[in-house]
Structure 1
């Protein structure tokens, strides 16, 4: 029979009438099936319980004990108003059918889920009405709970007409606060309701079903429901022009958000822009009604463009939302202040992403000011938003290296989440753990690795408990924490612990990707890439190559759906593989990977020049160094000329950022021509670079004077090679003058180069037999290098020896024994 039967018989043998048992026939074992086992278990349950106890157990079987404070003994006793109810409840506990929930007063659950499910099959309308009465009484005693409301709705759906339920169903709010068991009951109800209605009401049911599926992470089913709703609304709009535009826009918006969540950014952009077009039309007709909706649409576009790395478009969208909401808050402060804080917070997150830390801090401080006001007015609604903003500010202070400010912000957020988690542990314990993560990162920056490790581990403890009820959301966060722990252990050179943490993170990602491939295969690839980097750092080339190839396989597959994100990582992975092959002297494999990385980035740059064009230089630079080390200067030149073409284009788009890189690449092109002994082409390239650096040094002397001096120094070496000593002396003289001007900005760099230049100048003068000039320049060279040696003894001794060797040779050649 069922193993539960044995436990119940042993525990309750005193209640069983042994005389009524039949003689056991061993042959019956051969004829046992699931139905007979179930029937036997039910007979055992009925045997050990009185009729009253059994009826109570049956009624309790349809109370959802997954809800925190169910099954509530106080509610049951108040509901029945029966002197024997307390005794029956006690009997069920003693017989082993019910057990107390940990850390929850008056809350019990079934010891055996199997018995609960079996009894639940026998319930009828009377039991369902008792369940409704239970949740109604619980509301009177403990206040409203969204999960209890869903239970009432569910039990009503089994006994009431559908017309009485549909309005409650379509008006369900804040689904993100509901747990999966409540959402699944709403899905079951919605699937039934949609069969009973037509027209607009059916569209609303589909729309609401889409929201519930989306909240559960069931995106394919959500998309189907949204499209079903859209089809109905478009049909209604065709028959009744301009009546359903706002409903159509709402569905477009949901589809845009869904596709963004699935990282199908082109589809998301299409639907958000369709929403925008409708909202702009509606605002012209009814600005008071639709301006808030338009602000939300701009906000959604801001989030989308941020995800697409179109940061300027993201900023513009958020600013448009901000302008609207500032105007709305002036007319109705109470209604629109929270939305204004949301927009400022997201603008701050964008600035944080693009490393505009001061702008991010400014927006977060403004959001904080608003949320402090809101939380003082209505702490129940807004305290969690305040804590969120405090954590964001803490992160920015951390990046600005204002660690004490950052710590204070995180601690304030932690205090709020600790208080909130006492009332609602299921929801706020996660945010408490997340705040510990932020503090752990701060302590990692402070090199307090012990405290950082402790906080990460405390956070993981909470998350593992929460993962039992919210596996989708929490498993992702566990993956993140394990990854960060891996980085921490790597810094501490605890390589075994680091590898274990990275592998745990990989296991978390693979588990999630099994159920939600569209969402989490990217994470699997990302962690494989990090593992590859980790193994490469330990010279474990076999493991590194294996991890990189796994990352590459996933990113190549995903790049067909989402090229702008995954091709980026394809390029990185090929590049890292090339480095491994280079170390193994597998030069042909390294070249293929470098070339493929460059080809991938070129493809991205063609489609998205604003985002990816400058990344090509990273790969062509590595490819150029690869060919340079192999003395393949013609191939090096080819890569540098491609760089030059890219940076000319980028300098037109963003001169402040890319003009300096253009000057650098122009110089490198000259060096390539020089290696190939192409004098005219090299000289022309060096002159162009010199002119570019002269313009830069005039505007930003503290940054580019040394670069200008270095191009003069390069020209000096260039002319020495071609035996043009006067031209070499002129450029050497210019380099010395510019380095002397730059001494106030970069003293050590200038001292070293001045020593080199005077030594070089002395050698040229000695060839011209200008002995006094040569001696004077040797003296200058020694003076500069000895100044450096005083600060860093031992670092420049090799060069000092070279200067002395040059001086000895100088005196020997001219028989001057001085």
Structure 2
């Protein structure tokens, strides 16, 4: 009779298998195949869960890591409720581990707090999200004081995340302060180790530009967005497979701030460059980049309309799909709003608006926050035609809050669209 493998060998074999499955899941995620990524991640999670039940001291950290991976993949798919549940499980384990051995597990706990804040935001919980992001920030700040070389990068990330949450909660002034702190840290790190920290510096430049824009400082937003764009352009020349998506996003951001400041002509130049990159990326990786390419195409159509004054040309939705990928849902909303503005027939405009409201309802709270400007324009357009659904009757209050956050008023492109379509944003 053959000798059975020792228990320790079996455990090691299973943990190696789980690690391999996890790596496969991450690899499929990188190429945009979220279905395969979820399958592999779930398989790894199930193995780690069983191992952790038998030997919690050895395998609970891996179980928490796997729960976190699976939550992030569910979030990418748009399954926000389940993502929140798995993320909370990971957070609970890491919090308990950190209470027992803070020096080993506090950083993981802080990471899970940040992730949980992100998932709460996706589910529209603006109260808890700020508290979790702040708790994570406090932990990283303390860790960075003791071990700056190890934890300053995490502290900067946490500052950036907290700035975004503050902005989401309407505190644009404090958000600007935190975004600037993160930028200062990442700039210093990038000066010392550019190959490691320049991408983070570029990201913080973009975040700070967004915070400046939220505070109505369009001129400075343009300046910092251009700095981010220049870094991404250089990085993308050296490593296009890694940095071209960031370069395209930075081109789009720069175009947005130019348009906010009334320079739609220059904005269109940069938006077209972003579209060229995204269209090429979508050809080689449609699952991951189609949403970006669609959004860029719609941006170019709107900017071209603002510049020329000719008809707004937008292609109709190819085939309505109730199960549209999560990251493409805002594109559906955007497309139907543009189709409503382009329609010469009131009945066609009304039909496009109805489709837009349905698309809006399918978006997460976080997505709705990011598309608030287009939503407010759609509401103003519909209200002027007595076609606003009762559910959106408080849109003017939301508009006032939007203006207050920006301080310097509305982006100029919003005012120009309202003028062209004959409604007032007051």
TM-score higher than 0.5: yes
User: In structure 2, what is the equivalent of residue 618 of structure 1?
Assistant: 394
Instruction: Rate the CA distance shift 1:487–1:399 in 2: closer, same or farther, 3 A.
Output: farther
For the Cα contact (< 8 Å) 2:340–2:350, is it kept in 1? Answer: no
Which runs of structure 2 are paired with 1:285-364 in the superposition (5 Å)? 285-364=100-179
CA distance in 1, matches of 2:216, 2:206: 15
- Alpha-carbon distance in 1 for matches of 2:325, 2:243: 28
Q: In structure 2, what is the equivalent of residue 644 of structure 1? A: none
Q: Structure 1 residue 518: deviation in Å? A: 3.2
Correspondence list, 1:488-503, <5 A? 488-492=303-307, 494-496=309-311, 498-500=312-314, 503=315
Residues 601-616 of structure 1 correspond to what in structure 2 (within 5 A)?
none
Gaps of 5+ in 1: 1-196, 584-589, 599-614, 623-656, 658-818
Equivalence for 1:462: 277
- Quote the offset at 1:529 in angstroms: 3.5
What's the offset of the Cα at 1:306? 2.0
1:545 equivalenced with 2:350 (yes/no): yes
1:518 to 325, 336, 347: 325
| Deviates further, 212-221 or 244-253 | 212-221
Q: Secondary structure at the match of 1:368?
A: helix
For 1:383 and 1:408, the matched residues in 2 are separated by: 17
What is the CA distance between 1:359 and its match in structure 2?
1.5
Counterparts in 2 of 1:518 and 1:423: CA distance versus 1, 3 Å: closer
Q: Following the alignment from structure 2 to structure 1, what is the Cα–Cα distance between the partners of residues 365 and 213? A: 33
TM-score (norm 2): 0.78
1:468-527 deviation digits (Å, cap 9, x = unpaired): 33434443222222222333344446342x323xx28x56xx79x79x833245235313
| Structure 2 contact 31–288 (Cα < 8 Å) conserved | no
Alignment correspondent of 1:386: 201
Match of 1:449 in 2: 264
Instruction: Determine the structure 2 residue equivalent to 1:531.
Output: 338
Contact 1:345–1:364, Cα closer than 8 Å, also in 2: yes
Are 1:257 and 2:257 an aligned pair? no
Structure 2 vs 1, CA of residues 291 and 430 (structure 1 numbering), >3 Å: closer, same or farther? same
C-alpha distance in 2 between matches for 1:355 and 1:449: 27
SS in 2 for 1:430: helix
Query: Is the 8 Å Cα contact of residues 91 and 112 (structure 2) preserved in structure 1?
Result: yes
- How has the CA–CA distance of structure 1 residues 443 and 256 changed in structure 2, closer, same or farther, with 3 Å as cutoff? same
Aligned positions of 1:734-753 closer than 5 A: none
Correspondence for 2:60:
245
Q: 1:370 to 1:252 in 2, by over 3 A?
A: same
What is the CA distance between 1:296 and its match in structure 2? 0.5
Q: CA deviation at 1:451?
A: 1.3
Give the structure 2 partner of residue 228 of structure 1. Answer: 43
* Number of residue pairs matched by the alignment: 381
Deviation at 1:210, TM superposition (A): 2.1
Deviations 1:512-557 (A, max 9, x none): x79x83324523531343135414xx5522322332344466677x
* Residues 70 and 86 in structure 2, CA contact (< 8 A), matched pair in contact too: yes
* Shift, 1:374, TM fit: 0.7
Q: Give the conservation status (yes or no) of the 8 Å contact 1:210–1:225.
A: yes
Distance 1:463 1:223 in 2: 25
User: How far apart, in 2, do the equivalents of 1:371 and 1:290 lie?
Assistant: 24
Shift of residue 339, structure 1, vs aligned partner: 0.4
The alpha-carbon distance between structure 1 residues 324 and 491, as it changes in their structure 2 partners (threshold 3 A), is same
How far, CA to CA, are the matches of 1:449 and 1:324 in structure 2? 43
**Alpha-carbon contact 2:248-2:278 (below 8 Å) kept:** yes
Answer whether contact 1:372 1:386 (CA < 8 A) is retained. yes
After TM superposition, list the pairs within 5 Å mapping 1:663-812 onto structure 2. Answer: none
Evaluate the alpha carbon distance shift between residue 444 and residue 325 of structure 1 in structure 2; reply closer, same or farther with a 3 A threshold.
same
Where does 1:32-71 land on structure 2 (aligned, <5 Å)?
A: none
Conserved? CA contact 1:387–1:413, under 8 Å: yes
Contact 1:531–1:544 (CA<8 Å) still a contact in 2? no
Structure 1 residues 215 and 489, CA gap change in structure 2 (3 angstroms): same
Q: Any idea what SS the aligned residue of 2:284 has?
A: coil
**Matched residues in 2 for 1:407 and 1:401: separation?**
11
CA shift digits 1:372-417 (9 cap, x unpaired): 1110111001111111111222233233333332222122222222
Equivalent residue number for residue 371 of structure 1: 186
Q: Alpha-carbon deviations, 1:46-104, whole Å to 9, x = none?
A: xxxxxxxxxxxxxxxxxxxxxxxxxxxxxxxxxxxxxxxxxxxxxxxxxxxxxxxxxxx
Partner of 1:268: 83
What's the CA shift for 1:345? 0.9
Match of 1:484 among 275, 299, 303: 299
Question: 1:229 Cα deviation (Å)?
Answer: 2.1
Q: 1:369 deviation in Å?
A: 0.9
**In 2, Cα distance between the equivalents of 1:580 and 1:365?**
39
Conservation of the 8 A alpha-carbon contact between 1:262 and 1:519: yes
Equivalent-residue separation in structure 2 for 1:407 and 1:553 (angstroms): 34
Say which SS state the counterpart of residue 394 (structure 2) adopts: helix
Give the deviation of 1:362 after TM superposition: 0.6
| 3-state SS in 2 of match to 1:212 | helix
Structure 1 residue 582 displacement after superposition? 6.7
- List per-residue Cα deviations over 1:766-809 (Å, max 9, x = no partner): xxxxxxxxxxxxxxxxxxxxxxxxxxxxxxxxxxxxxxxxxxxx
Please give the alpha-carbon distance, in whole angstroms, between the structure 2 residues aligned to 1:335 and 1:397: 29
**Structure 1 pair 297–446 and aligned structure 2 pair: CA distance change class (3 A):** same
TM-score, normalised to structure 1's length?
0.42
The CA deviation at 1:313 is 1.4
* CA distance in structure 2 between the partners assigned to 1:329 and 1:258 by the alignment: 29
Q: What is the rounded CA distance, in whole Å, between the counterparts of 1:555 and 1:534 in structure 2?
A: 16
1:73-222 equivalences in 2 (<5 Å): 199-222=14-37
- What's the RMSD between the two structures over aligned residues? 3.5
The answer to whether the Cα contact below 8 Å between 1:303 and 1:314 also exists between their aligned partners in 2 is yes
State the distance in 1 between where 2:56 and 2:240 align.
49
For 2:304 and 2:169, the matched residues in 1 are separated by 28
For 2:254, the equivalent position in structure 1 comes to 439
Deviation string for 1:213-266 (max 9, x for gaps)?
A: 332333333232223223222333333344321121112111211222222222
* Compared CA separation, residues 430 and 237, structure 1 to 2 (3 A): closer
CA contact (8 A) 2:122 2:366 kept: no
SS at match of 1:467: helix
Is the Cα contact below 8 Å between 2:159 and 2:182 reproduced in 1?
A: yes
Quickly say closer, same or farther: Cα 1:423–1:555, change in 2 above 3 A. closer
| 8 Å contact from structure 2 (residues 76, 327) kept in 1 | no
CA 1:307 to 1:288, structure 2 compared with 1: closer, same or farther past 3 Å? same
Higher RCO, 1 vs 2 (CA within 8 Å, ≥6 residues apart): 2
